[in-house]
Structure formats: C-alpha cells, structure tokens
Structure 1
Amino acid sequence: MTMETHQVPDTSPTDQKSSARNLRHAAASGWIGSALEYYDFTLYSQAAALIFPTIFFPSTNPAMAIITSLATYGVGYVARPIGAVVLGGLGDRHGRKHVLVIAMLLMGFATFGVGLLPTYGQVGVLAPVLLVVLRLVQGFAVAGELGGSNALVVEHAPDAKRAFFASFNLQGSQIGSILAILILLPLASALPKEAFESWGWRVPFLLSAIVVVAGYIIRRTVEEPAVYLEQAAEAKKHKAPVVEVFTRYPRVVLICIVCTLANVIGTATLVFGVAYGKQESYGIGFTTSEFLWITLIINAASAATIPLFGKLSDKYGRRIPMIIGTLGGGIMSIPYLYAVQAKNFWLVLVFGLLAMSVFFQMWNATFATAYQEQFPVRLRVTGFAVSQNVGLMLAAFAPSVFSAIAPPGTQNIPLEIGLTTLCITVVAAVAALFLRNANGKSLEA
C-alpha cells in the first residue's frame, strides 16, 4: 500500500474555474442533502418524543408508549447498514452522483409519507406498523447520503481544506434542524393542542417535498471528482466493495463504528432529554414550545461552530477535536439532565449549548473527513457508510434503552443516564486514538 498524495497539477485558469465550480456544486449538493436528512431527523426525533406516543400508540400504558415511540426512532437505523452496503456499493462502482440522487428521492418519499399516516385511533395497530415501514425506508436512504456527499466534497477539495469544505455538509444538517423547528414551533405554540396533534404536526413532514425538488435540481449539475474518475474502471471490476472493506480493513471499520458511538451525546440530550422533560408521566412539565426553542437555539449555534472546528481539524489533525469533543459532550450530559429535572430553562439551554454546539460539534465537524481518509478512493463510500451507519444504529437505540432503564418514578435519572452516556463516550474517545492517517492523508490500494 502507498500513501495517496493528491498532487495538484498545473492547471489553466479555465480548469481552475471549473474545479472551483465543481467544488461549490459538490458542497451545495452535500449541504442540501444533509439539510433534508436532518430536517427529517429533527422532525422525527422531536415528534417521537413529543407527539407520537399519544397518536400512534395505545394510551393505556404511557411509559410503554414512550419506550415504543422512541424505539421507532431507533428502528430507522436498523435499515442503515443494509442501505450502506447497497448504496455504498453503488456509489463506489457507479459514481457518487448516482447514489446521491437515489438517496434524495427515497428520503423525500418516506418523510412526505409520514405526514400522511393515519393515527392509532383511526386504524389501530396498522398505524405504528406503517410508521415503522416508512422509518425503515428513511434509514435505508440516509445510509448512502452522508458517505456519498462527503466523498464528493473531500475528493473535489484541496488536501489542506478537506475538513473545512466537508464541514458544510454537517452545517447543512444543522440548517435542516433549524428549518424543521422554525416550522414546528409556531404550529405548536399557536394551535390548540387538539389541532396540533390532529394535523399541525403533519405540515412540516409534507413540506419536505420542497427540499427534495431543490436538492434534485442541484445534484443533477454535480460532476464526479477527477480522482474517482481515474479509478472508476477499476472500481467497477469489484462486484462487492463491502466484502473487500471487511476483509482488508476490518480493524478500521471497527474503530470507526466505536467512534460513532459519540452520537449518544445527541440522543441523550435532544431525544431522551426532551422526552424526560416533556412527557407527563415523568412529571417535570416542560412545554413543547420550550423544548423547541432550546433545540432551535442549539442548532443555530452549531451551524456557526461547525465550519470553525472543521478548519481547526485541517490545521491540528483529526484526533484531538474528536477526543475532546466526545469526552466533553459526555460530561455535559450530566448537568444538562439535572437542569431538565430542575425545570430550569436557562440552565438546560446553557448546558445544551456546551454539550451539542461546542463539544459535540468538535467531533461532528471532523469525523466525516477522518473516516473518508481511512479508506482508498474505490472503497471510500462503502467503508464510510458501513462504519458510520452501524455505529449510528447502536447509538440510535439509546433513547429507548434509557427510557427502559430509567422509566418514570426512577430515582436520580440524571445521574444514572448521564453516567451511562459518559461511559459510552469514553469508549468512543479511546477508539479515536487508533484512527490512522489522521494527518490529512488517506490510503490507496
């Protein structure tokens, strides 16, 4: 194996303009794809904590309704490893652009479909079954999204600015979350509870169609990176990239999966934490609009910090921000949950900003580029997608596990859940120590 150097050849002004245009299109494509992904992510995570327990599940056992609703949030991640294999292989063998268009259309279809679902009161058990089916489609589609879009950006970007440009994909995720909340918040605040639970919550899901159309138009203009085109013929010879990923890079895949458990920071704070503060059975009494404001402010701050941390990782390497961010976010989850228990809006906001907008974004702005640099070009989308999505699948069930081990009535929920979160983040941080080539280089077969 030899180190991939990506030497930049002498180019004419026309070629330079073309390269700059392709990079802008790639960044815009990734940005809007991530925006749709996290528009859906935020809508679903907030709805699973705030609304779905009462409209898609029987009300005879509130605690079980919360656990089951949060489990449907996690179910979407079960399909991700399958989508990672299928869509990752498509992206490696037939091009990054093709997988991104397919992922965009599938995500849009599933998100729009959630907005049309009947409730448990209307069709009984069929309601949660349909919810799970659409969630599985979402998970399958999203699996190829970030791997493909980040490969596209990383391969178009100059070596010294990989993480900075790739960070805009992650910034798009925050913008998507902000858009979701900006639509949810006035509906939740202005509509009577009955109207919001009847039709108001559906509006943001149906509006996802607009994002899909815009994303499809942008993605049709994106060109494949030159570094991929140079190896496209060789990549097509390999029928199953996932087999080669696991046979040649099993240690790398395992390290990236464990690192991805850092996402438990978000599931502990902005998913379980929301259910803990809002659901009546826990008895704390936060309102829907209060938590939507908290989530909105956190995501707005995160959108500003992501490019900063991406730029810093280009300068100082990937490991340091990933380790500090993972450990810091795990620690901050403890006071965050205590602030929720105390029903102190401002402390929840402060600790939420520290956990998610500062520490977690150190990891979030860096991991995508770090993972891309672990794999050669012809296996990059598959290697990234499988590693990330298996880790996300494990982290996604944390809210329902937290609800099961700390149901309403449990003593000292903040310490119990906070320490569990911290232990998981310690494991993820240790794994980051073993990332190879964290100096901005990647291996080539």
Structure 2
Amino acid sequence: MTNAERAPSLVDATDDSPQSMKRVAVASFIGTVIEFYDFGIYGTAAALVFPHVFFPALGPAAGAVASFATFGVAFGARPFGSLLFGHFGDRLGRKRTLIATLLLMGVATLLVGLMPTADRIGAWAPLLIVVLRILQGLAAGGEFAGAVLFASENAPKAKRGFWAMFPSFGGGGAILLANGVFFLTSASMSDKALVDWGWRIPFIGSIILVAVGLWVRLKTEETPVFKHAVSRAGTYRFPFIEAFKSQPRQILLATGTAMMCMVLTYVGGTYLVGYGTHTLELSSTSVLSCTMLGGVTISIGVVVGGLLSDRIGRRWVIVGTACVAIVWTLMLFPILEHRSLWAFAVGVPVTMFISGVATGPLGAFLSELFHTRFRYTAAGFSYSLAAMLGGAIPPLVAPLIIQSYGGFAFGVLMAAVCILSLVCVLAIGETRQQSLEDDTALTSA
C-alpha cells in the first residue's frame, strides 16, 4: 500500500465538529481583525491627521497626496510579503507563518504610534514612516491567504464558503473597529489635541489586540490538508516558481477577479474618509460615523456572500455582484456630489455592502483554485497584487482625476475595474466542488 493510499482523506483528516470549526473560525477572525485594524488605522490617520503631522511643509493638498502615497507604499510591499510568507507557509506550515505575520504587524504599528513628528526630526519622520509602512505591507501580504487557508483547509466541503469567509468578516470588523476608535478619540478631544497626540492612541493601543491574537493562534493546530500533503509528497523548495510553472493563468485571473473587491473597499473605506472631510467639508465625526456604518454593512455583505456561495457557487455570487457594482460605481460620485450628510451616509455603506458580498466567496474561491503545496504563495500573491492594483492605485489617482474631470470620471475607472473582474471570474469557472486535496483538477481550469 502506498503512502497516498494509507493517508486519510480530507473528510477523515478534518475534525468538522462544530466546536472544532468554531475554534478555527475564531482564530481566523481575530487574527485578521488585528492585522487589518493595524493596517486600516493608518488609512484613517492618513486621511485625517498625517498631512499635518508628517507633511506640514507641503500644504494641505500636496500633504494629503503625500500622506496617501505612504499609505500606498504598503500595497506595493504586499505582493513581496505574500511571496516571503507564502514561501514559509507552504514549507513550514500555516500556523507558524501566521504567528510571524501577526508579530511583524503589531511591532510596526506600535512604532508608528511612537514615531516623532516632522516638527521634531524633520525629513526623517516621513522616511521612517515609509519603512514602517513597508513592514506593515509585508505582514498584510502574508496574513490574508494564511488566515483563509487556515479556515478553508479545516472546513467541511459543503460549508467551505461559510467558514472561509471568517477572515474577510474579520476585515469588516477591523474597518468598524479602526474607525470606531478614531471616532471616540476625535470626539473626546479638540482637533488640536488629536493632531498633537491623540492620533497615537489607536496605534499604541493595538498592542493589546496583538497579545490576544497571539494567544489565540498559539492555541491552534496546523491544518490537516497541509499535514496530509506534506506527508504524502513533501514540500516544494521554491513554491512560487512551482506556482507560476503550474498555474500562471489562474494566478492572473484570480488577481483580476479580486481587484473589484479592493477598489470598492479601499475607495469606500479609506479614500472617502478624506473626500468627505476635505472636499465635501463634512465634519470628521460625521464621516467616521458613516464609515463605521460601512464596516457594519461590509461585514453583513461578507456573510451573505459566503452563505450564497455554498448554495449557488462562488462564481455566480461574484458575477452577480460585479454586475451590480458596475452600475453602482457610475452612480456613486453623482450621489456624493449633493454634498450632504445623507448622500454620504448612503454612498459609503452601499459601496461597502457590495464589496462585502463580492469578498464573501473570495476565501473559498482562492483556496479551491490552487494546489495545496503552493496554495499559500499563489493565493496570497494573487490577493496582494489585486490589493496593489485595485486598492492602492485608484485612491492615489482619485484626487487628480476628480479635480481634472469630475467624480463621474473616477466612477468610470471604478466601473472598468469591476468589468475586468467580471471577465476574469467568467474565464475561471466554478470551483465549489473542488477538493482541496486534489492537485490535478485545476491545472487546466
């Protein structure tokens, strides 16, 4: 009898009891909340505070552009982080790698909170911020895929979409938490105090969350799918090379599919914070309240998308959402240009809900698309490249496009990204019935 014949099947290898999967879901959820809370509070600070703290010499407009540029640096680092941590995740295991990403993100975020401002150390302040943003980007690049695989590789096949959505659900919780902390901070002090020292509270306070997340992840075990794959066939020396040799088409199509989620999430959850305060001249507390509501709606959307994907398939949930998103992105800025709070309170939550529905199936979709022995690397790289192209570039170019051609023109750009995602997911096909142990079925998918 061969090793493969002796090895347990996925069903045998997975303890799919409710208690077991609840523990796995909590570990995936909490870790992602912490990772993307740390990542997200920088985006909120970049919109509200950092132009004054780190780029005062540039003036309000140029300072805002420079601040968002440092926010975008982390997106450039994310694909490299996915390769670095994906390499170790595919060779050493999901659990150990996720602990490393959590610690790296936590340390980098704490140091941002302790960073001297430009008034004290001059040009060193923005330079050091860029370095810390790179470290945050590396950590974020390794986090999502690992958290998704940790859930999906433990989940029973029939409910994989539901269980694999918990990391994305944690991302929605992080948006709510990050903006909630900034809301409470800004509401409890003057604008001057917020700029002087109050902005540091969300960054320094995150160390408590990191300690909780570390404790939870240390309590978990490696996924049975990964252990089975290693016992049966070992690991690749260079998983990234094998991924591009075996499934280059799937990597590119997965990147295109995920870009829609990124442009909706980072325009709705990050860029519109600055747009609402500076362009629409709404109060920061009102804007943060709407963004917190967006955190609620994206979380609801994630659950809806994950549940639907187990019933009708990953592909059709993403296809349907893309069609809605194409129409909505063309409507978004004409609605916002009413320059009223009610318009903003509609625009942000609806954008985030649509993003959530599209994101809900994404964890299971990426897991099912790639082979086990390079799944961490390939899924992480696809997701991180999509985040860079869809999450960093549109918010960075938005001020220039809106100033030159108006908000509708930027909506056209967002719609084009959604069309690209629609084409890519149609080209990939359905993945719901794919076994995570089958390393042959998807090479030509």
Global fold match (TM > 0.5): yes
State how 1:128-139 maps to structure 2 within 5 Å.
128-139=126-137
Residue matched to 2:272: 273
Q: Are the equivalent residues in 2 in contact too, given 1:25–1:221 (CA < 8 A)?
A: no
Residue matched to 1:388: 383
3-state SS, counterpart of residue 85 of structure 1: helix
Q: Are the equivalent residues in 1 in contact too, given 2:336–2:347 (CA < 8 A)?
A: no
1:173 to 1:235, Cα distance in 2 relative to 1, 3 A? farther
State how 1:27-426 maps to structure 2 within 5 Å.
27-233=25-231, 236-262=234-260, 263-279=262-278, 282=279, 284-357=280-353, 359-395=354-390, 396-407=392-403, 410=404, 413-426=406-419
**Aligned amino acid, residue 349 of structure 1:** A
Q: Are the equivalent residues in 2 in contact too, given 1:314–1:440 (CA < 8 A)?
A: no
Q: Are the equivalent residues in 1 in contact too, given 2:186–2:194 (CA < 8 A)?
A: yes
Give the root-mean-square deviation of aligned CA atoms: 2.0
1:270 to 1:337, Cα distance in 2 relative to 1, 3 A? farther
Write the distance in 2 (CA, Å) between the matches of 1:121 and 1:47. 17
**Aligned amino acid, residue 314 of structure 1:** D
Consecutive unaligned residues of structure 2, counting only runs of 5 or more, are 1-7, 441-445
3-state SS, counterpart of residue 274 of structure 1: helix
Q: Are the equivalent residues in 2 in contact too, given 1:85–1:382 (CA < 8 A)?
A: yes
1:438 to 1:275, Cα distance in 2 relative to 1, 3 A? same
Consecutive unaligned residues of structure 1, counting only runs of 5 or more, are none
**Aligned amino acid, residue 294 of structure 2:** I
Write the distance in 2 (CA, Å) between the matches of 1:45 and 1:379. 31
**Aligned amino acid, residue 440 of structure 1:** Q
- How much does 1:83 deviate? 1.1
Residue matched to 1:428: 421
Q: Are the equivalent residues in 1 in contact too, given 2:141–2:384 (CA < 8 A)?
A: yes
3-state SS, counterpart of residue 8 of structure 1: helix
Q: Are the equivalent residues in 1 in contact too, given 2:297–2:350 (CA < 8 A)?
A: no
Deviations 1:121-166 (A, max 9, x none): 2222111111111110011011111111111111111001001011
1:374 to 1:157, Cα distance in 2 relative to 1, 3 A? same
Q: Are the equivalent residues in 2 in contact too, given 1:332–1:351 (CA < 8 A)?
A: no
Write the distance in 1 (CA, Å) between the matches of 2:165 and 2:210. 21
- How much does 1:381 deviate? 0.7
How many percent of aligned residue pairs carry the same amino acid?
A: 30
180-189 or 242-251: bigger deviation: 180-189
Q: Are the equivalent residues in 2 in contact too, given 1:103–1:145 (CA < 8 A)?
A: yes
- How much does 1:338 deviate? 2.7
Q: Are the equivalent residues in 1 in contact too, given 2:41–2:178 (CA < 8 A)?
A: yes
**Aligned amino acid, residue 269 of structure 2:** L
Write the distance in 2 (CA, Å) between the matches of 1:435 and 1:364. 16
Q: Are the equivalent residues in 1 in contact too, given 2:15–2:154 (CA < 8 A)?
A: no
3-state SS, counterpart of residue 207 of structure 1: helix
1:308 to 1:269, Cα distance in 2 relative to 1, 3 A? closer
**Aligned amino acid, residue 8 of structure 1:** V
1:6 to 1:164, Cα distance in 2 relative to 1, 3 A? farther
Aligned length: 429
3-state SS, counterpart of residue 321 of structure 2: helix
1:437 to 1:416, Cα distance in 2 relative to 1, 3 A? closer
**Aligned amino acid, residue 266 of structure 2:** T
Residue matched to 1:8: 11
**Aligned amino acid, residue 356 of structure 2:** Q
Write the distance in 1 (CA, Å) between the matches of 2:376 and 2:237. 14
Write the distance in 2 (CA, Å) between the matches of 1:235 and 1:83. 26
Q: Are the equivalent residues in 2 in contact too, given 1:374–1:436 (CA < 8 A)?
A: no
**Aligned amino acid, residue 200 of structure 2:** R
Write the distance in 2 (CA, Å) between the matches of 1:367 and 1:41. 20
- How much does 1:403 deviate? 1.9
